[in-house]
Amino acid sequence: MDRDVRTMEDVLRLLDGLFAPEADRWTARAGAWWDGFYRDRAQPVPFFVAKPDESLVAYVEKGLVAPGRALELGCGPGRNALYLAGAGFEVDAVDLSPKAVDWARERAAEAGGAGARVRWVCGDAFTAAGLDGPYDLVHDSGCFHHLPPHRRPGYLALLERVLAPGGQLSLACFAAGAMGSELPDADFYRDGRLHGGLAYTPEELRWIFEGFEEVELRRMHEEPVDSPYFGESFLWTALLRRPESPAEGA
């Protein structure tokens, strides 16, 4: 049968297929793709370091976010989840890659008390059971910019579902002019490639996340090698607050 689109999920699956093999980064095969990526822990990947985002640390130390329930999307080897647990948060951390989650669990065992306060989930944050919130904080350091344009509505729907009223999204993503592709959305479908990830301008981020209060939006600070924090200036970092009620965001 040549007609295989009847539901919106069929549409999403069709659009995902346009990006094969890059689609393996976020479709049902994503765990295997990322497992290959995480296989060599010695490769010089910036976010393999056991350091939290400097922006996340700044939000906590400035009192912009307070300890509560937190969800990390695309937790990788667990560097930010472990920091949040050490800062007093109750943390759920999710990643598609079993190898990444195994590495995170190893780091958690080494961390002792803080590590025991993280619940590690291997799976898709959009469909995994038990990630229903409400969360006071959702942290995403590098997941959003790997989503194709047609997956953005699902990302926003996830935030709508799991983020508590008044809760906050802490986001780090590629900055236009520094890292990632600046092609118009339609051109990714013409090319059948995401070119390594999508770059965003501040105006684009404000438009996508309209309805959220902008607490802070800036470039991530570049951190030296001997810093206890992770920081790369090719990233935007944003702290966005969900309104307490629909009327507040109107």
- Given a cut of 70, whether residue 243 has pLDDT beyond it is yes
pLDDT at 80: 97
- Given a cut of 90, whether residue 8 has pLDDT beyond it is yes
Q: What is the pLDDT of residues 91-114, one digit of tens each?
A: 999 998 889 899 999 999 998 887
Q: Kindly report the three-state secondary structure assignment for every residue of the chain.
A: CCCCCCCHHHHHHHHHHCCCCHHHHCCCCHHHHHHHHHCCCCCCCHHHCCCCEHHHHHHHHCCCCCCCEEEEECCCCCHHHHHHHHCCCEEEEEECCHHHHHHHHHHHHHHCCCHHHEEEEECCCCCCCCCCCCEEEEEEECCHHHCCHHHHHHHHHHHHHHEEEEEEEEEEEEECCCCCECCCHHHHHHHCCCCCCECECHHHHHHHCCCCEEEEEEECCCCCCCCCCECCCCEEEEEEECCCCHHHHC
**Which CATH class name applies to 8-249?**
alpha beta
Q: What is the pLDDT of residues 172-209, one digit of tens each?
A: 999 999 999 999 999 999 999 999 999 999 999 999 99
pLDDT at 31: 59
Task: Compute the average pLDDT of residues 32-41.
Answer: 71
Task: Compute the average pLDDT of residues 54-75.
Answer: 97
Q: What is the pTM of this model?
A: 0.92
